[in-house]
Amino acid sequence: MLESLAQRLGLRTNPTIFFVSAGLMVLFLVLLLGFPGPIGAAFGVARDWIVTNLGWFFILGVTAWLIFLAYVALSRYGHLRLGGDDSRPEYSNLSWFAMLFAGGIGTVLMFWGVAEPISHFAQPPFAGVEPFSPRAAEEAMSISLYHLSLHTWAIFTLPGLAFGYFVYRYNLPLRVSSVFYPFLKDRIHGPIGKTIDIFAVLGTLFGLAVSLGLGTSQIAAGLGELFTSITDSTPVRVIIIGVLTAVATTSIVAGLDKGVKRLSNINILMAVGLMLFVLFFGDTVFLLRQVIESAGHYGQNIIGLSFWNDAMARFTKEGGWGWQQTWTVFYWAWTVTWAPFMGVFLARISKGRTIRQFVVGVLLAPSAFTLVWFVIFGWSAMVSDGIGTGEMGEIARRVVVDEEVPIAMFEFFSNFPAATLVSGLAVVVVALFFATSSDSASLVVDMLCVGTDDAGPVRQRVFWGVSEGALAAALIILGGDAGLEALQTVITVVGLPIFILVFLTVPCLLKGLSSERRKAMELRFGDVPPRASEPAERDRDAKESAVGG
């Protein structure tokens, strides 16, 4: 029945994955808009239980993934290509970096580049650290880098490596279920595999909706600063989502090479221009010195931060579970909902690169950019607010006291010449990051349903683009004045099952890579007794997949 419906609608997709995912999303939208109170309360209870009982699992998991990726990159498997041994990259290094950055974390850096360092500077999470002190500033920078550099990109790199390896070396469908081939075998084409793919599609939609919600709140705050007639309210945010979803949909129709690539390149150039403006019109020498010094502090603190989960908070008056609930656990739960999207996206644009090139490039290049970005924006903001004065500056007051987090960057720009012009440019950059994130995710969600790296008909991609905007608008309406807190609550709950799925990619990759060693032994020493995961069965399943869709 579903196949017949897909044919009548002119769709080219897996009917079960497409219609079930779409149906569940529409059902949630109806419930969300019809019963926001009970739905919000249910998510709140679930979130409290997760962060209290499983916060340590999120923190340990992401650190384990980073260690595993370092091992794989340095191991004997590092020379293997994501594709055939003779395949080569389709994109230059510059375009590759721009695409993965703009699609992955651009909106996040714009939102938190000032707000997070200022928050930790004003409210240090560790006992005995005086707010607004030099030590508070140094620790604020280390914590910010911990949240948004190597660990964040480990969450993206792991599924990207798994997709690239299994899809392009095993000739399997471009779906999350293909990662579990070593254990599920041909069951990836059955109910179990489709269930995994449906979860991945829904998780991607929710993760993107949260990011669009954050980006929209920042755009609304910026417009409110630029035009006194515009107020940062729920209706204004919904209108902004509608307008930018239309822009993103236009890019979706243009496709990956013409749409996403072009927008990504423009966007990254504008973001770099904004960063250089702050560097040269700020305390340039101090900031350049801090790039080196902050890298050192981050390197010194990364091990402790990677395993810290507030275990001793119950014995102290300061700290407590609240800090990590609001920050680290939220970050990892939110970021992991992007894992299917970014994994497929990274695999798609990285075909032909070696495992070592992929891991090193995806981990280090964006992390290095994040370091420079946070140093220039974060340290400049803390200097503006007065390091060592012991008094709260205007930026910290608006972020911490007034809880106007989206306004942080625009308040920061008020300290620079041509503040209105610069704030206007910042609004444009955030809007473009919104569009690149939306169109990238729409293409990837469509690929997850189609099962190939060729996107389906335009109407399918447009459907997912509009759906993402609608879901983001619904979450904005649900949050109301609570805004950020409501988004954090929803994404923490949705992130748990996705986190478990990504965790399971580690044994799948280990099993898949062990088969590469076995094949090498065959070539060197002759025949070795076959095992279930060898190429003959793999090719058979790939043919079945091609026939069955």
CB-CB contact of 197 with 175 (8 Å)? yes
pLDDT for res 53: 87
Question: In this prediction, what percent of the chain has a pLDDT beyond 70?
Answer: 87
Region at 530 (left for phi over 0; alpha for psi -120 to 50; beta for the rest): beta
What is the average per-residue pLDDT within 162-182? 92
Name the band, by pLDDT with cuts 50, 70 and 90, for residue 43: confident
Name the band, by pLDDT with cuts 50, 70 and 90, for residue 485: low
| Residue 397 clears pLDDT 50, i.e. is over it | yes
| Residue 159 clears pLDDT 60, i.e. is over it | yes
What is the average per-residue pLDDT within 121-138? 92
Distance in angstroms (rounded) separating the CA atoms of residues 118 and 287? 16
Cα dihedral 400→401→404→405 (10° resolution): 0
Name the band, by pLDDT with cuts 50, 70 and 90, for residue 544: very low
| Residue 320 clears pLDDT 60, i.e. is over it | no
pLDDT for res 469: 87
The number of residues making up the chain comes to 549
498-529 b/e with 16+ CB inside 10 Å = b? bbebbbebbebbeebbebeeeeeeeeeeeeee
pTM of the model: 0.86
CB-CB contact of 45 with 131 (8 Å)? no
For the chain, give percent helix, strand, coil, nearest 5: 80, 0, 20
- Pick from 504, 502, 509: nearest CA to 207: 502
CB-CB contact of 422 with 413 (8 Å)? yes
Of 321 and 391, the one with more pLDDT = 391
pLDDT for res 441: 77
24: three-class secondary structure by DSSP: helix
What is the average per-residue pLDDT within 393-411? 90
Three state DSSP letters for 465-508: HHHHHHHHHHHHHHHCCCCHHHHHHHHHHHHHHHHHHHHCHHHH
| Residue 76 clears pLDDT 70, i.e. is over it | yes
443: three-class secondary structure by DSSP: helix
Name the band, by pLDDT with cuts 50, 70 and 90, for residue 542: very low
Domain boundaries, the chain: 2-207+286-381+444-465+484-548
451: three-class secondary structure by DSSP: coil
Question: In this prediction, what percent of the chain has a pLDDT beyond 90?
Answer: 40
Angle between helices 328-337 and 150-169 (to 10 degrees): 20
440-460 b/e with 16+ CB inside 10 Å = b? bbbbbbbbbbbbebebbeeeb
Q: Where are the alpha helices (DSSP H) in 320-400?
A: 321-326, 328-337, 339-350, 355-374, 380-385, 394-396
- Angle at CA of residue 378, ends 372 and 384, nearest 5°: 130
pLDDT for res 259: 52
pLDDT for res 491: 80
pLDDT for res 225: 83
Of 250 and 455, the one with more pLDDT = 250
